[in-house]
Structures are given as C-alpha cells and as structure tokens.
Amino acid sequence: MAFFHTLTGMYLTQSVLHAFLGLIVVEISFFAWGISDHLSRFRYRLLTLTLPIFMFPLYQLLSPERSSWHFRVSRALFDSHQWLDLKAFSLFPFAGALIVILTGFSLLFLLQEVWPLFQRHKGRSSGQEYEETHLYDERMHTLLGSICRPLTINMPSYRVIVEELPTLFTQGFKSHTIVISDHLVRTLDDDQLLAALTHEVVHMIRGSSLKTPVIYLLRMLMFYNPVSLVEFRRIVHDEEFICDAITISMTKNPTALIEALKAFYYDPDEEHGNPMQMKDRVEIHSHNLILDERIGRLQGAASTGESGFRWLPFMLTACFIMTTGYLVV
C-alpha cells in the first residue's frame, strides 16, 4: 500500500514497531537487572512511551538514507514493507490489517479518553458545581496540619463537597486544593482519613498534578499506538504504588490506608439503583481490580522491593532501544 511508503506512513508504522521493541527490551531489563520497585519501573516505562515519538524523526535527520531500499535490504534487522506488502491467503493485505488496527485504537482513544474529558468540560461550562459543606472544617484542618507540619510545607486548601460517592482528588498545579466528598469524611475514621489525605499530599510533593498531564500529552501524541495505551496506564498505576509506599513510610499504618482504599470500591449493582451499560460495568470492574492490586501489595502479597535507582542499567536499556530501533524500519 503506497501510504506506508510515505514519511507519514513510515512514521506511523515505525513508531508502533519501536514501541513494541521498547516494551520487550524494558520487560527483559526488569528480569535481567532484578528491577521490582515501582519508582524504577515508572522511569523505565517512560522510555517505552517517549522514545518512539522521537526515534523516526531523529533517525531521518541524522541518516536520510535509512528509508532507502538499499538500507532495508542490506542493513535492516526488520523491514516492515516486506510484511505490509504481503497478502493473507492472497486476498487481504497486511497493510489493510494494520490500518484497521490503528483506526480501531484511534476510535478507542476518542471514545474512552477524549469523549469523557469533553463531557466533564461541558458539565463545568454549563455551571454544574458541587455544593460545599463546612461541617468538617475543624477535622480536616487538624489532620492536614498534622501531615504538613513535619514536612515543613504549606497546608493545601480543601473543599468538602456534598456527594454520596467516594471522591478524593487534588486540583491545581502550584496552589493545590484537595477535593473530598462528605461521604468519605463520614465513612473513614481519623487514621483512615489521615492515610487518604497523606496520599494526596504525597502526590503534591511528587508533582503528580503537573507530571500526569505531561505524560498524558505524550500518550495523546501516540493515540493510535496500542503499546502507548497499555504503558500509559501502567505508568499511572506505578505512580499510585509509589505514593502508597511513601504514605506507609510516613504514617507507619498500612492497615489504615488499606481500609481507606476499600472505601473506594464501586458496586455496579448499586450505582444509583439504575441498570448500567456494559461499558460502565467494565470500567468499574477495572477500577476495582486496580484497588485489589494496590491492597494486595500493601498487605505484603507482592513486595515492591524498594531500592535505589540505578542509572547504568537505565542508560544501557535506553541505548539498546535506540541502536536496535535504528535497524527496525
């Protein structure tokens, strides 16, 4: 198919191939170097998400002959054109299958990630706001103060909203605001609420409110790439595991954080008493599975084996991806 012989087509094809290459090399690195802590895994997975965006343009800039027929025949380890020009059962071209796959994941990105963002923005612009309550100001102020004073950081502002669902998140980049539902404040005892708030403060200290949108932007640039979809979610999950571990090191009370996490379970059969669409049920099931994994790790079922980050294996892994990717065209 002629499209895949253009620069745009080659970029799409090779960015997917380079992402798969990065995924394989990173997973082998985890095994070879004994990498089990989530901070290291977080950084390694960023290689899989970021490098494929820049590899093809960089290679073309430094070595324009890389796209030539001679390079593909004489030097390339893998030539995508040879495969894309083939036809399954002499009928359906592999190039057509690749277009179907890329289109499918692009539509999945639009429906699963862009559309919900549009809906939330539409809700805000239409003036939809949660009612606030100040019944729990003293308790919130006391708990946040006990977290921030030992860390010598400014206490963030907070909003307690009237909401019957378990809600807890942080707004803002430089000036942070913790938003929490009154349902959660009523449900959790002081130790559990302290653990939940500490987790949010850890996110602030780590700059998650700025870091996550940047990583999401990288994900958006590769909206058609199935590997980017998987790795983005893994990176976000690793960030949660990191903050869980730091929270435990601060509170010395894993049981409280476990019980706080259990408050975020959703029961699809009880959601507002209405029948739910299959899409919503799948999302809730996925949400509960992530909570199960976090709780399992906190209970010691899967130790993260925290250790210092080793730069040499990281740089060797990045260099191997870059050098091998040069020969994948």
Domain count, the chain: 1
Model confidence at 198: pLDDT above 80: yes
pLDDT tier at 165 (50, 70, 90 boundaries)? confident
Model confidence at 275: pLDDT above 80: no
47, 115, 307, 313, 314 from 40: Cα distances, Å: 11, 32, 9, 10, 9
Query: E strands along 125-268, which residues?
Result: 157-161, 168-171, 177-181
pLDDT in tens, 48-86: 999 999 999 999 999 999 988 889 888 999 999 888 888
Separation between Cα atoms, residue 93 and residue 83, nearest integer Å: 9
Model confidence at 219: pLDDT above 60: yes
Q: Which residues pair with 95 in a beta bridge?
A: none
Task: Decide: 49 and 231 in contact? Cβ < 8 Å.
Answer: yes
Rounded to the nearest 10 degrees, what angle do helices 226-251 and 38-62 cross at?
150
pLDDT of residue 269: 60
Model confidence at 154: pLDDT above 60: yes
pLDDT of residue 290: 84
Q: What is the mean pLDDT of residues 107-132?
A: 71
Neighbours of 207 (CB within 10 A): 11
Q: What is the mean pLDDT of residues 120-138?
A: 72
Mean pLDDT of the chain: 87
Closest CA to 28 of 55, 48, 56: 48
Q: What is the mean pLDDT of residues 189-194?
A: 96
Tell me which residue range forms the domain holding 8: 2-326
Mean pLDDT lowest among 209-213, 286-290, 297-301, 305-309: 305-309
pLDDT of residue 127: 46
pLDDT tier at 87 (50, 70, 90 boundaries)? confident
159 — phi, psi (to 5°)?
-135, 125
Task: Decide: 325 and 51 in contact? Cβ < 8 Å.
Answer: yes
Closest CA to 239 of 39, 48, 49: 39
In sequence order, what DSSP letters do the residues of 16-52 get, joined into one string? HHHHHHHHHHHHHHHHHTT---HHHHHHHHHHHHHHH
Model confidence at 149: pLDDT above 50: yes
In sequence order, what DSSP letters do the residues of 104-116 get, joined into one string? HHHHHHIIIIIHH
